[in-house]
Amino acid sequence: MLPTTVSPPWSYTLQLPHDPRAPGIARATLRAVLATYGLPQLVPTAELLAAEMLNNAHFHTDGPYALRLRHSSPQGIRVAVWDSDPRIPPGFGRPGSPPVPPADAESGRGLHLVRACADAWGAYPLGAARDGKLLWAELGGDPPKAQVPPLH
């Protein structure tokens, strides 16, 4: 019997300045990490989840934010975004759903997409020493909930 090679758990954190180019740089990093670890099937959904959480951090805060990718199971990952605002969005880590935006609204659907596409999601505030919050979403443990086309 041949020995099985098991990849040790891994995580990457990318610190991002409050710059409009930062979400795109983070998505490119995400694609590179998943390709390196042989998880290309997760790229479309992981990129969508990251894009929604990163854009939320960029548009709703004035400070830096960060993307964290973590190996959560043999074929799964956790995508997390930290930002400096301690307020957790409605329906994300709290009971209830985010408010449904009007049909003609140009924004407000991001957290609905995260909830629809992730296998699990959540949020938690960070302590006083590390103000802010962390939003997270997991995928890859089960078949994707929704088919997501590539973002690039």
Q: Which domains are assigned to the chain?
A: 11-98+107-139 (3.30.565.10)
Burial of 110 (0-12, 13-18, 19+ CB in 10 A): buried
- pLDDT at position 93: 63
State which amino acid sits at residue 99.
P
CA 152-60-30 angle, to 5 degrees, is 30
In order along its 152 residues, the chain shows pLDDT tens digits of 555 555 678 999 999 999 999 999 999 999 999 999 999 999 999 999 999 999 989 988 998 999 999 998 888 999 999 999 888 887 776 556 666 766 776 666 677 788 888 999 899 888 765 689 999 999 986 554 555 555 44
- pLDDT at position 72: 86
**pTM here?**
0.80
**Kind of pairing between the strands at 133-139 and 120-125:** antiparallel
CA 55-61-67 angle, to 5 degrees, is 50
- pLDDT at position 133: 92
Q: Evaluate whether 115 touches 122 at the Cβ level (below 8 Å).
A: no
Measured over the CA atoms of residue 34, residue 55, residue 148 and residue 91, the dihedral's sign is positive
Looking at residue 48, what DSSP letter applies? Answer: H
Q: What does the buried/exposed string (b/e) look like for 35-48 if buried means 16 or more CB atoms within 10 Å of the residue's CB?
A: eeeebeebbbbbbb
Looking at residue 47, what DSSP letter applies? Answer: H
